[in-house]
Amino acid sequence: MEAVLALMLFAIVSVALITALNETGRLAYEARREAVLARLLDSELRLAMSVPVLEEGEVDKKLDELGGVEIKTIVEPLEEVENQDGQILQQMFRIEVQAVWWENNDWEEMSVETWRYARLYVP
């Protein structure tokens, strides 16, 4: 009877340990993937910000090497943005970069955005 009890206790502890290791691995994978996507979005945002002449519109990319992640860069003008003195700032643009992918039977999305003065990088 003691051997059966010891074997049952060992089985319960083993299942709990394997479950904990599996969950740790899953969380590490998700954290790594999120970090890769965050770096990718930051890179795409910096690329869009550094274009000398901003133009309104959308640009789509598909990255098959990351499991079919679709990147969309959206540039649109901001209307009636005022500074602290109440003056309207002209040629201000909103730049947004979105990443969309299919994972775990659901669409996942991450995005970043910023504003830029159009003449900032003009030589």
Quick check: is 51 in a domain?
Answer: yes
Quick check: is 41 in a domain?
Answer: yes
- Report, as an integer, the average pLDDT of 30-50: 92
Q: What is the pLDDT of residues 59-108, one digit of tens each?
A: 999 988 877 899 999 999 988 888 788 888 888 899 999 999 988 889 99
Task: For 84, list phi and psi in degrees, rounded to 5.
Answer: -70, -20
- Report, as an integer, the average pLDDT of 34-53: 91
- Report, as an integer, the average pLDDT of 31-53: 91
C-beta separation of 122 from 52 below 8 A: yes
Quick check: is 97 in a domain?
Answer: yes
Whole-model pTM: value is 0.74
Quick check: is 105 in a domain?
Answer: yes
> Is residue 123's pLDDT more than 70?
no
Q: What per-residue confidence (pLDDT) applies to 98?
A: 96
Quick check: is 123 in a domain?
Answer: no
- Report, as an integer, the average pLDDT of 101-123: 86
Residue 38 CA to residue 112 CA, distance in Å, equals 9
Least Cα distance to 60 among 96, 32, 103 occurs for: 96
Overall domain count for the chain: 1
Quick check: is 87 in a domain?
Answer: yes
> Is residue 120's pLDDT more than 80?
no
Please name the residue that has the structure tokens 């690329």. Answer: 47
Residue partners of 110: CB distance under 8 A and separation at least 6:
34, 37, 38, 41, 98, 99
Quick check: is 122 in a domain?
Answer: no
8 falls in which pLDDT band (50, 70, 90)?
Answer: very high
Q: What per-residue confidence (pLDDT) applies to 50?
A: 86
Quick check: is 81 in a domain?
Answer: yes
Three-state DSSP state, 30: helix
Query: Domain span at residue 36?
Result: 2-117
